[in-house]
Amino acid sequence: MKISRILHAGYAFESGATRILFDPVFENPFSRNCHAFPDVRFDLAQVRELRPDAVFISHFHDDHCSMESLNLLDRATPVYLYCVFDELFAMIRALGFVNVLSLEVDASVTIGAFEIIPRRALDADVDSMFQIRAEGLNVLNVVDAWMDPQTLEQLKPYAPWDMVLWPFQTMREVDVIAPSRAARGPVELPEEWPQQLQALAPRYVVPSSCQFRQEPWSWYNHALFPITYRRFAQAVGEWLPSAQVVRLNPSVSVALTAAGLTPAAPLPWVLPVGEQDVDYDYDADIVPPPTADIARHFAPLTAEQAALALAFCRTGLMERYEQMELPEDSYFATPCVWQLSVYDHDGGVQQFRYRVHGDSIALTGDEEAPTWATEIPLAKLYAGLALGESLTSMYLRIHGAPADADIVDDPLIRCLFDDAIGAYQAAQLRRLGITI
């Protein structure tokens, strides 16, 4: 069985004449500003010549399900997607794929030499994992999911696993959105990992997923990714002394057999750029720069783009907010004043204050100080509205939220993302000139 890394959670698996792609992304950066780490580029002419026997996509997030990447593949390729939302299937069909199929947990799919069994992840409404079998070998691709306890019990009888692709990097999204609430000091590895990996007892462990950073200037590069490859390898060595940790950088391939693991020819269409054995550099004491300084890194919007974003602050946000149902235990169930600060490319700010009570919201004056404040670069607000950009890369920042409040109750977050299933993919289709 030949196993090759594409990027992030993307892999190519080959057995005999059968080739399957998992979560393929052929873009750098992907998801708008996830920059490959280590750096790579793609020979898109070669990608267009690929004829995989199938593509399997673990879930709908834009770093796994990219319309612009799928657009490079032959339309006769069967595409298997785990997703509870019909919209994503319609989008892939709109690209012209004629064989788009829904995956079900524990329902085996046979493609040539391979048997693929989707397994339940902890968040079953979003994620799935893949059990991949061929040539008497068992590989578990956890993608970037969290392991469901019942699924672990299902998988124990297959131990020892030949290889596990394990999502080694925990992302601190809440800590960079609300840095005043971030815990200081070293970050511990999740306490359930040792027991889970020991139960699987793999011969080989691949630190999987992640493999990206933000823009070179971004403070997120030292705040978002707390676990190094080195630290993960050391921990696995302590938990599983007989296992071998194998780092697969983009393009790198290995041949897995019952007897062992050997290097194989790299993917010719994934082209490494520069040093590849790079590692993350987490700084627990980093001081985030002001949002005004971050906003200066982005090119100015056109007058039309800026007007769209600011009109949203004046009217569209309130209309969208009042159409949603607020959770009963939300911080905003009690009357409060919320301030939204929007920074342009010169670092200038426009502020909007709203009185919020439950499902109602209205602009108000500056007589009363806000108890919850949100900041965002104007360019990123526009990107969230028009381009489907994800929360992780928007440099949105929250001040004043009490420790017991849920960050995602922030009115701007809710208005941008509560009903945003497939927003990024829809924006991709628009760029490709495709309407659905």
What pLDDT is stored for residue 152 in this prediction? 98
Task: Give the mean pLDDT of the chain.
Answer: 95
99, pLDDT greater than 80: yes
**Angle between helix 229-239 and helix 193-200 axes, rounded to 10 deg:** 60
Structure tokens, 25: 């992304």
93, pLDDT greater than 80: yes
Element (H, E) at 413: helix 411-417
Whole-angstrom Cα distance, residue 174 to residue 409?
12
What pLDDT is stored for residue 328 in this prediction? 86
CB neighbour class for 353 (10 Å; exposed up to 12, middle 13-18, buried from 19) = buried
Question: pTM for this structure?
Answer: 0.95
Q: What SS3 class is residue 374?
A: strand
436, pLDDT greater than 90: no
The DSSP result for 243-257, as a single string, is -EE----TT-EEEE-
Element (H, E) at 207: strand 204-208
Whole-angstrom Cα distance, residue 429 to residue 114?
31
Structure tokens, 14: 């080959």
What pLDDT is stored for residue 327 in this prediction? 86
Per-residue pLDDT, averaged over 409-415, amounts to 95
Instruction: Report the C-alpha dihedral over residues 177, 207, 40, 82, rounded to 10 degrees.
Output: -70
Paired strand residues for 118: 130
Whole-angstrom Cα distance, residue 128 to residue 389?
23
Name the CATH superfamily housing domain 291-431.
Answer: SCP2 sterol-binding domain (3.30.1050.10)
The DSSP result for 312-362, as a single string, is IIIIIHHHHHHHS---TT-GGGS-EEEEEEEE-TTS-EEEEEEEEETTEEE
Whole-angstrom Cα distance, residue 378 to residue 344?
5
421, pLDDT greater than 90: no
What pLDDT is stored for residue 183 in this prediction? 79
Structure tokens, 373: 């404040």
Element (H, E) at 254: strand 253-256
**Structural domain spans, the chain:** 2-272, 291-431
DSSP state, 30?
A: B
Please compute Rg for the chain using Cα positions.
23
First to last CA, the chain: 39
Per-residue pLDDT, averaged over 57-70, amounts to 96
Whole-angstrom Cα distance, residue 153 to residue 199?
9
Q: What does CATH list as the number for 2-272?
A: 3.60.15.10
Tens of pLDDT, residue by residue over 148-159, are 999 999 999 999
Tens of pLDDT, residue by residue over 352-393, are 999 999 999 999 999 999 999 999 999 999 999 999 888 989
Name the amino acid, one letter, at 182.
A
DSSP state, 363?
A: E
What pLDDT is stored for residue 242 in this prediction? 97
Structure tokens, 9: 């959670």
185, pLDDT greater than 80: no
56, pLDDT greater than 80: yes
What pLDDT is stored for residue 377 in this prediction? 98
Cα–Cα–Cα angle for 11, 15, 19, nearest 5°? Answer: 50
What pLDDT is stored for residue 420 in this prediction? 72
CB neighbour class for 142 (10 Å; exposed up to 12, middle 13-18, buried from 19) = buried
